């Protein structure tokens, strides 16, 4: 349905891009700001690094589960209400991480923080409520380009805060930023969804129609494996930086920013060319860029020529490729059933993040003490190859049915 023109800080109109960007940015920041602190957190709680590394995998796993229900809830009760409640719960969980007496309690509250995933899922759904498919890919590209500025500096800030103030400073920052974003959403984000009259049970029953769609699975697979490459990086790069290349927390955080620079550049490319080139071609371009970059990194590592600078510099291709591919892949997921954009976004996000959780945990398991970076590189390469294969299947189906790509 047509929406009123967005007016900043008017709760009766759609939100400005700034609000969606900061909302999604908080969700991304909550995932990665503390990564350079993982070795220090393990020492603080007197826990194995592998246990603290689960703070990534468990967070992603619960995020996947939550996204299954967040979408339908927002379709029925509204994007605004779902986002506001999620932000309040996130703030409570963040306070819990700051007061946790041991690693187990910390992990429980860390998992609860995953409710902020509503920010990423529903910011995409809000965009789809407002504009058409091609425009959605473009707008999501611009939103995530701006969003990428936040996680780009997140690990840098997190590493510095860890060195000078301890790991708790990272979660203190999340608490403060969460309060700011809650206030902004309350003031600016008007309802954009056409609320569904069907019951929550009936909404959940709509999942089979999505799961039977080859297009849905193609876009989900492309998005899941593309983002899975990044999640494997999140799970394994802190170990590689600390144990293989002997970097400090702040150095690891700074090098993490290289990947985010590539992601921002990819998002800019997506925002500018998605309408002209089409969703499918954009996804293929993005996954191909990542695959080539990871193949080069694998060759360099096999020849024992890798270093910290080379390793993190080549991962910029992963950021670039994902920045190009993911906006269009996400828009493709939403285009399968536009009338259930929240449900599709939630289910697609659950599949993406669930796969990411598995790959993050696998990355940790594949890097025992004394390991080189090679297992992580091969895992990232394999995930990227699979993302390319998935979008190629979508393109093949479109050509077979005579659909413009």
* pLDDT tens figures, 314-355: 999 999 999 899 888 888 887 777 666 667 777 787 788 778
List the single range of 5-19, 129-143, 224-238 with lowest mean pLDDT.
Answer: 129-143
Residue 249 covered by a domain: yes
Residue 101: is it exposed, middle or buried by C-beta count within 10 angstroms (0-12/13-18/19+)? exposed
Position 321 scores a pLDDT of 95
Give the model confidence (pLDDT) of 216-231 as tens digits. Answer: 899 999 999 998 898 8
Determine, yes or no, domain membership for 288: yes
Nearest to 154 by CA among 176, 179, 182, 174: 174
Q: Is residue 174 part of a domain?
A: yes
Q: Name residue, tokens 């965009």.
A: 127
In a domain, 144, yes or no: yes
What's residue 152's pLDDT?
63
pLDDT for residue 29 is more than 80: yes
Give residue 252's pLDDT band: very low, low, confident or very high (50, 70, 90).
confident
- Does pLDDT of 108 surpass 50? yes
pLDDT at position 289, please?
97
Q: What is the pLDDT of residue 328?
A: 87
**pLDDT range class, residue 201, cuts 50, 70, 90:** low
Which range, of 73-77, 174-178, 215-219, 338-342, averages the lowest pLDDT? 338-342
- What is the C-alpha to C-alpha distance for residues 226 and 275, in angstroms, rounded to an integer? 21
DSSP H/E element including 107: helix 103-112
155-174 pLDDT per residue, tens: 778 888 888 888 999 999 99
Q: CATH number of the domain that 57 lies in?
A: 1.20.1250.20
pLDDT per residue over 349-404, tens digit each? 778 877 877 887 788 778 877 888 999 999 999 999 999 999 999 899 888 877 75
Is-contact 269 322, C-beta < 8 A?
no
Q: How far apart are CA 360 and CA 62, in angstroms?
A: 13
Between residues 184 and 268, the one the model is more confident about: 184
Residue closest to 348 by CA, chosen among 290, 390, 306: 390
**Look-up of token digits 């979008």:** 391
Domain-embedded: residue 172: yes
Query: For 368, which DSSP code?
Result: -
pLDDT of residue 190: 81
| pLDDT at 382 (0 to 100) | 95
pLDDT, position 264? 81
Which pLDDT belongs to residue 197?
64
Residue-level length of the chain = 405
pLDDT at 2 > cutoff 50:
no
Note whether residue 3 is domain-resident.
no
pLDDT at residue 68 greater than cutoff 80: no
Tokens for 390, please give them: 């998935």
Q: Residue 157 and residue 87: Cα distance in Å, rounded?
A: 22
pLDDT of residue 292: 97
Mean pLDDT of the chain: 83
Q: pLDDT (tens digit, 9 = 90+) per residue, 30-64?
A: 887 887 888 788 889 988 877 887 887 788 788 87
Structural domain span for residue 72: 17-193+207-401
Q: Does residue 93 lie in a domain region?
A: yes
User: pLDDT-derived band of residue 203, with 50, 70 and 90 as boundaries?
Assistant: low
Q: Is 356 within a domain?
A: yes
Q: How confident is the model at residue 206 (pLDDT cuts 50, 70, 90)?
A: low
Query: Tell me, what's the pLDDT at 354?
Result: 77
What is the predicted pLDDT for the residue at 127? 78
**Number of structural domains in the chain:** 1
Q: Is the pLDDT of residue 179 over 60?
A: yes
Task: Let me know the angle formed at the C-alpha of 297 by 266 and 292, rounded to the nearest 5 degrees.
Answer: 50
Percent of the chain with pLDDT over 70: 87
Quick one: what percent of the chain has pLDDT higher than 90? 28
């Amino acid at each position: 349905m047509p929406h009123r023109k967005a007016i900043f800080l008017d709760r009766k109109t759609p939100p400005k891009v700034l609000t969606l960007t900061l909302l999604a940015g908080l969700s991304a920041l909550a995932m990665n700001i503390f990564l350079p602190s993982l070795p220090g957190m393990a020492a603080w709680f007197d826990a194995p690094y592998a246990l603290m590394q689960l703070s990534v995998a468990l967070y992603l796993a619960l995020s996947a589960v939550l996204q299954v229900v967040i979408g339908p809830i927002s379709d029925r009760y509204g994007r605004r209400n779902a986002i506001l409640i999620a932000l309040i719960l996130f703030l409570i969980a963040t306070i819990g991480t700051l007061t946790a007496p041991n690693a187990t309690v910390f992990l429980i509250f860390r998992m609860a923080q995953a409710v902020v995933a509503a920010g990423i899922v529903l910011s995409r759904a809000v965009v789809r409520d407002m504009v058409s498919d091609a425009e959605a890919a473009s707008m999501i590209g611009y939103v995530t380009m701006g969003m990428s500025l936040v996680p780009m500096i997140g690990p840098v800030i997190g590493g510095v805060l860890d060195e000078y103030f301890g790991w708790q400073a990272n979660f203190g920052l999340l608490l403060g930023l969460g309060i700011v974003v809650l206030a902004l959403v309350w003031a600016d984000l008007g309802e954009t969804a056409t609320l569904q009259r069907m019951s929550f049970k009936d909404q959940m029953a709509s999942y089979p129609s999505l799961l039977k769609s080859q297009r849905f699975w193609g876009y989900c697979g492309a998005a899941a494996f593309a983002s899975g490459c990044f999640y494997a990086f999140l799970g394994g790069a802190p170990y590689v930086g600390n144990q293989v290349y002997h970097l400090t927390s702040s150095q690891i955080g700074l090098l993490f920013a290289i990947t985010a620079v590539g992601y921002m550049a990819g998002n800019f490319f997506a925002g500018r060319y998605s309408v002209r080139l089409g969703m499918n071609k954009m996804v293929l371009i993005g996954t191909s860029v990542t695959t080539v970059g990871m193949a080069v990194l694998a060759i360099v590592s096999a020849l024992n020529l890798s270093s910290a600078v080379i390793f993190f510099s080549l991962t910029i291709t992963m950021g670039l490729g994902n920045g190009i591919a993911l906006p269009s892949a996400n828009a493709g997921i939403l285009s399968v059933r536009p009338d259930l954009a929240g449900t599709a976004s939630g289910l697609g996000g659950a599949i993406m993040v669930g796969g990411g959780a598995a790959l993050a945990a696998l990355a940790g398991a594949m890097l025992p003490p004394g390991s080189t970076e090679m297992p992580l590189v091969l895992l990232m390469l394999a995930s990227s190859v699979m993302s390319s294969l998935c979008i190629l299947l979508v393109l093949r189906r479109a050509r077979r049915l005579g659909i413009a790509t």
